Amino acid sequence: MPRRATIAAALAVLTVLATLTGCSRRETMSLAVFTPDGTPHLIVVPCPGQDLIGLGIETADSYSAYALAGSAVWEAHDKTDPDPEPLAHNTVIPLLHTPPGWTLEPGSATTLDPGTRYVAKGYGGLVTHPVGFTLDALFGLPSGQVITNDDHDPGSSTTMALDEFHARAATSC
């Protein structure tokens, strides 16, 4: 194929892909961090029919949107069962605790450092948007508030009421 035709074909494919991804609604699992009882927790709301199979916490410096595993300071997976039981629809997991039946990655942290910015994420059939937080911000949350991703500024986090988080999660699938 002549070079000019190859370039034209590649541009056509890229245009179609950009159009399809730009116009399609992106589904995502919802994730937030909060302190319901004074201790840090993750809350994950998978979309119906989607299974959450992994959770990770990375430092913001090492975070990669493209790495589903491997760069986390703490990571747990549902690798033990070829047909895993999905976690409940509104799963609340104490931070740095492994959900029952899951496997903790060797070398995972048992504590997080004050002053370090972290990114939490979950993945399965869909990936959550990353949620950035520090321990100071997390422990400074008013009762009933969560830290979650900011819909208007991808890659940023925002604080909102837990009820608002659930309402937004219901419309993200």
Tell me whether residue 14 is in a domain: no
Distance CA 20, CA 24 (A): 6
Tell me whether residue 165 is in a domain: yes
Q: And the tokens for 56?
A: 């990770």
Tell me whether residue 7 is in a domain: no
Tell me whether residue 19 is in a domain: no
Tell me whether residue 98 is in a domain: yes
The per-residue pLDDT for range 136-147, each reduced to its tens digit, is 999 999 999 999
pLDDT interval class at 34 (50, 70, 90): very high
Tell me whether residue 9 is in a domain: no
Task: Please give the average per-residue pLDDT across 118-143, as a whole number.
Answer: 88
The per-residue pLDDT for range 73-98, each reduced to its tens digit, is 888 888 666 565 556 667 899 999 98
Checking if the pLDDT of 100 tops 50, the result is yes
What is the domain count for the chain? 1
Tell me whether residue 96 is in a domain: yes
Tell me whether residue 17 is in a domain: no
